[in-house]
């Protein structure tokens, strides 16, 4: 058992402290592409899909595709993703790149790869991301977001959280999948490698100092479509 825990601790450290950096724009383009695929995959099923009203109300969306968790007594989690903010007109910003990490103890059994989407519901949640480094559940409250199929069972307290989290498991089983207790950090160097200049998260997300890159337009379009309620079918008039 001690050997297993020791191996788990080593693997957890590898996950937690391995942080590949962008060598140029291509890595950012790949992350955007992975984020589009992750969001579309999440939205395919009513079991995991985010309700339209949540996406219409939220201030921003964070997407962490292929997030990894491993644990056996000691658990580690790491993921790399992006955030896009929405203005009052409903138009999305260019993406800013972020990393999520966690290390904890307790009931941590298994290995898991999952896509995670976070609906950032209010100014406090958005400001936490723009601060560049914050604790989930400490600096911003998080709750499991209501999926389309189960939104009626969601409590008012859940909907009042700063962040609503959605996940879809890609591979593996894991006891305990919450993101509470993790830290989310703005990747300034990777963002600079993608845009060719140093930028703060706020300069991208709310000040819009960089235009929407062509690579991110499919994601902005997917987010916009998902925030619109489905068109109502017109009932044919009854024959007199």
CA 25 distance to own-chain centroid: 21
Instruction: Answer yes or no: is 231 within a domain.
Output: no
| Domains held by the chain: number | 1
Would residue 240 count as lying in a domain?
no
d(CA 195, CA 63): 19
Inside any domain, residue 238: no
* 17 within a domain of the structure (yes/no): yes
Report pLDDT for 26. Answer: 86
206 inside domain: yes
Do residues 116 and 83 lie in contact, with contact meaning Cβ atoms separated by under 8 Å? no
Q: What pLDDT score was predicted for residue 152?
A: 55
Would 235 be classed as within a structural domain?
A: no
Q: Which residue has the tokens 């498991």?
A: 169
Q: Is residue 20 part of a domain?
A: yes
Asked if residue 197 is part of any domain, the answer here is yes
Please list the rounded mean pLDDT of every run of 10 residues in the chain (240 residues). 49 53 78 97 92 96 93 81 97 98 70 92 98 96 86 59 92 60 95 96 98 97 90 56
Output the six-digit token pair for 22.
């962008």
> What's the confidence (pLDDT) of residue 161?
94
Query: Across-strand partners of 117?
Result: 63, 166
Q: Looking at residue 1, what is its pLDDT? A: 47
Per-residue DSSP letter, 143: E
Burial class of residue 196 in the structure, from the number of CB atoms within 10 Å of its CB (0-12 exposed, 13-18 middle, 19+ buried): exposed
Domain that holds residue 24: 2-225
Rounded to the nearest 5°, which phi and psi values hold at 202?
-65, -30
- Is residue 101 a contact partner of residue 185, using CB atoms and an 8 Å limit? yes
């Amino acid at each position: 058992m001690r050997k297993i825990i020791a191996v788990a601790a080593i693997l957890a450290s590898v996950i937690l402290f391995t942080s590949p950096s962008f060598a140029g724009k291509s890595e950012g383009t790949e992350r955007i592409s992975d984020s589009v695929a992750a969001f579309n995959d999440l939205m395919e099923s009513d079991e995991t899909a985010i309700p339209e009203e949540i996406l219409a109300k939220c201030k921003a969306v964070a997407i962490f595709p292929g997030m990894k968790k491993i644990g056996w007594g000691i658990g580690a989690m790491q993921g790399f993703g992006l955030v896009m903010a929405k203005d009052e007109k409903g138009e999305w910003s260019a993406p800013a790149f972020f990393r999520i990490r966690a290390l904890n103890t307790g009931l941590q059994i298994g290995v898991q790869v999952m896509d995670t989407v976070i609906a950032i519901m209010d100014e406090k949640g958005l400001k936490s991301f723009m601060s560049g480094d914050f604790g989930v559940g400490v600096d911003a409250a998080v709750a499991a977001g209501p999926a389309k199929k189960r939104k009626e069972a969601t409590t008012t307290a859940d909907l009042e959280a700063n962040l609503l989290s959605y996940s879809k498991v890609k591979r593996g089983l894991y006891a305990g999948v919450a993101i509470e207790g993790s830290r989310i950090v703005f990747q300034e160097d990777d963002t600079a490698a993608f845009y060719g200049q140093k930028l703060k998260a706020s300069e991208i997300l709310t000040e819009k100092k960089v235009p929407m890159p062509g690579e991110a337009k499919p994601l902005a379009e997917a987010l916009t479509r998902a925030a619109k309620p489905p068109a109502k079918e017109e009932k044919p008039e009854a024959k007199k």
